[in-house]
Structure 1
Amino acid sequence: MAVYVDDAIWRWKGRKWCHLMADGEAELHRFAHRLGIHRLSYQGPPKTAAPHYDITGLERDRALRMGALSISRREVVALYRKVRVRKGALQAAE
């Protein structure tokens, strides 16, 4: 399993932001915890289809030093499709 940060950095509220994603949700939460990201920052079902955290550019740099892999916009879209929770799957789990 791996953890990823995209290189699609955007500006919002005076900071640069990107996405922290992983092959699995448990790995994503473990890495975010090690990175010092609070669980309240998590964005996943039902709010969004793909589990992720929005992180700042500074947190991105630290994540890369901790072993996260940098991925392109095209790669993040492919990862999003791989890890997204489809509506039917979410309903089946309820």
Structure 2
Amino acid sequence: MAIYIDPPIWQARGRLWSHLISDLSFDELHVFADRLGAPPRAFERDHYDVPEEAYDHAVLLGAAPVSCQEVLGHLRRSGLRRPKFSRPGSFSL
């Protein structure tokens, strides 16, 4: 299984969040997220937003803890990266 999770450092809605990704397929990612109990609404283009309190459970289920930069690198190399729409002249990862 090629599932990765970055540390819960992203602040939103009064909580800290991680990004859960696959470098194999979205099908693999959706199956893992379902096992984790992540709701479908947590999927955002190419990753699931996972609250801090679910981080340890994700790792226990088999997600490999990696840095934020590694998450982005895995997505780019796999071809699964789906960046937000960007306007000409703007910067998007």
1:75 and 2:66 aligned: no
Does the 8 A contact of 2:10 with 2:18 survive in 1? yes
Calculate the TM-score normalised by the size of structure 2: 0.75
1:84 to 71, 74, 81: 81
Task: Decide whether the 8 Å contact of 2:8 with 2:55 is kept in 1.
Answer: no
Percent of aligned positions that are identical: 40
Q: Which has the higher helix share?
A: 1
Q: Which residue of 2 aligns with 1:48?
A: none
Q: Distance in 2 between matches of 1:75 and 1:69?
A: 11
Cα deviation for residue 85 of structure 1 reads 4.6
> Structure 2, unaligned stretches of length 5 or more?
84-93
Q: Name the structure 1 match of 2:51.
A: 56
Q: Which runs of 5+ in 1 are unaligned?
A: 45-50, 87-94
Preserved CA contact (<8 Å) 1:8 1:73: no
Q: Match for residue 33 of structure 2?
A: 32
- The alpha-carbon deviation at position 31 of structure 1 amounts to 0.4
Contact 1:8 1:72 in 2 (8 A): no
Which deviations, in whole Å up to 9, do the C-alpha atoms of 1:51-76 show, x marking residues without a partner? 11111011111100111000112211
Question: When the two structures are aligned, how many residues end up with a matched partner?
Answer: 80
Alignment partners' CA distance in 2, 1:41 and 1:73? 18
> 1:20 maps to which residue?
20
CA-atom RMSD in angstroms: 1.7
Q: TM-score, normalised by structure 1?
A: 0.75
* The 10-residue stretch of structure 1 (9-18 or 67-76) with the greater mean CA deviation from structure 2: 9-18
